Amino acid sequence: MLFYAFARLLVLSSLLWAVVGARPFTVVAYNVENLFDVDGVAAYEDYQPAVYTRFHALTKLQNITRVVGRFEAGRGPDVLMLAELELDATPGKNPPNYAALLAQYAGVPLANLLVEKFTPEIADLPAEFLLLKALNDAGMTGYHVVIGDNITTLGSDRKQEITCGVFTRFPVKRAISHPTLNARAILEVQVEVDGVLLYLFANHWKSGAGDPEIEPTRVANAQTLRTRLDQILRGDPHADIIIGGDLNSQYNQKKRYPKMKTTGINDTLRSQGDELAVRGVDRDLYNLWFELPPRERGSDTYRGEWGTLMHIIVARGLYDYRGVQYVDNSFAIGKFAGLNMDERGLPVRWSGFGPRGGGFSDHFPVSAKFITVSAGRADRWLELSRASVESGDTGEPVKIGYAGMDLVKSAVTAESLAAGTVLRSPLFLGKIVRVEGVVAAGARLAVEFMGETYDIYSHDEHLRKKLREDFKPGDRVRFYGELGLYRDRWQWVIQDATWIK
């Protein structure tokens, strides 16, 4: 008995020794909600020169930088996997030399470049360089930048206007853009960490997570990735692989949308939540969402529900004692009070309203920590505390607690506003206001409040119908509404039936 105890102690000691002096690093996956450059050429309506100026770009770049700076005590993560960077609509003949551009503009802060020193040459800089410059100005230096190509598979019905990118401090050994159906190319970046090869895959699959008719496209996106993973894992079943990005899928897509016979993320990619299963043969990917309690899983919101569209998924090689290793239970959501998270705990999304715009993104970033280990033991597994399992996941979405909000305490009222206050401003977007007004005449359901007319809307179809039945033109009404802006129309969004008084 003493022999076995001593032997176990030797094994644990050797594994502990393997971690001593390990190289720790953080990986962040972040959808930055359409970061566009300022060349005046854009495919999206919201980013045309009349509504998206260099002042808007400066606000957005500075805000993204503030969020990224919350990781690693202001140093920023060593790996940043980004979605929704604009594919440069006016590219030069040669790929940008980011290091040379940083050197060229080293003495001039980004704010100066985009304001008083703005020139056509600066206007032509791509979005990813503007972000690199913003990070550099904030002391987050040393990044190599890799951007996905604008390529799609045969059968795709449109060109892509946005792409994925990877910012990494590790030396880049190789980069490959994998074309996929009707979505951004999947970007594979191979980096070297302490002499170890690490595969990074940045993704942005087809949107419409809850739509069964679109799921076959995400299945195709997942198959593109799975095919490449299988190729790597055949050569090395313990390869170190990190998959990140916006998969436009819930971590439990199969259970959340039972009408979908085959899902991209669960059936084709085979992402799953049994943490010990990765040690076996068939279930080689683990989705880090399962590290959190079910009620805490959420990086985005849609129609009153939390979603988990942003992902970090790891392969079995991250659990052994060779190369790169996942730091157990380090997965986290990058929501920061007073910054990119509002007082209700929701993402402060980007708005281009006003001369400078405001906000961050409709997604919180997600992060995870890793270390390098030197034992070289692919036959030893990381000991886990609270290893997760999939049992108990009903697939029910986590609801935003609109019904339980203390609206009397938290809502803005007309009486509390200073004389001359303009509600239609970035300052009040997303705020809950107690509205007391008269239902306006016309085909659209609207209310006259504080001298302005606002649409009335609810994401709940049944509540929308009830509002139309109950609110008649000329009626005096009182309700709580969240101030929104949709296609240049201001609206009050009633999130729950309890908001009607």
Q: What are the tens digits of pLDDT across the range 15-37?
A: 444 444 468 999 999 999 999 99
Domains and CATH numbers, the chain: 13-381 (3.60.10.10), 407-499 (2.40.50.330)
Q: What are the tens digits of pLDDT across the range 187-238?
A: 999 999 999 999 999 999 999 999 999 999 999 999 999 999 999 999 999 9
Q: Which of 263, 363, 279 is nearest to 314 (CA)?
A: 279
> % helix / strand / coil in the chain, to the nearest 5?
25, 30, 45
Among the listed ranges 80-84, 182-186, 352-356, which one has the minimum average pLDDT value? 352-356
Q: What are the tens digits of pLDDT across the range 440-457?
A: 999 999 999 999 999 999
User: Residue 28 pairs with which residues in a beta bridge?
Assistant: 80, 367
How much is the CA Rg of the chain, to the nearest whole Å? 25
Q: What are the tens digits of pLDDT across the range 336-382?
A: 999 999 988 999 999 998 899 999 999 999 999 999 998 999 999 99
Confidence band for 155, pLDDT divided at 50, 70 and 90: confident
pTM given for the model = 0.92
CB 226 within 8 A of CB 269: yes
**% of the chain at pLDDT higher than 70:** 96
Please name the residue that has the structure tokens 């997760």: 388
Measured in degrees and rounded to the nearest 5, phi and psi for residue 169 equal: -85, -10
Q: What does the pLDDT average to over 418-427?
A: 89
Instruction: State residue 12's pLDDT score.
Output: 44
**Model confidence at 11: pLDDT above 60:** no
- 55: three-class secondary structure by DSSP: helix
Please name the residue that has the structure tokens 């985005």: 300
Q: 139 is written with which tokens?
A: 């002391």
Instruction: State residue 429's pLDDT score.
Output: 87
More confident residue, 473 or 487: 473
**Model confidence at 294: pLDDT above 80:** yes
Q: 334 is written with which tokens?
A: 């990058």
Instruction: State residue 19's pLDDT score.
Output: 44
What are the angstrom distances between the C-alpha of 149 and each of 88, 165, 181? 10, 10, 14
**% of the chain at pLDDT higher than 90:** 85
Measured distance CA(12)–CA(268) in Å, rounded = 37
Q: What does the pLDDT average to over 85-102?
A: 94
Dihedral Cα 64, 313, 368, 392, nearest 10 deg: 110
- Report the relative pairing of strands 79-86 and 25-35 from DSSP bridges: parallel
CB 411 within 8 A of CB 480: yes
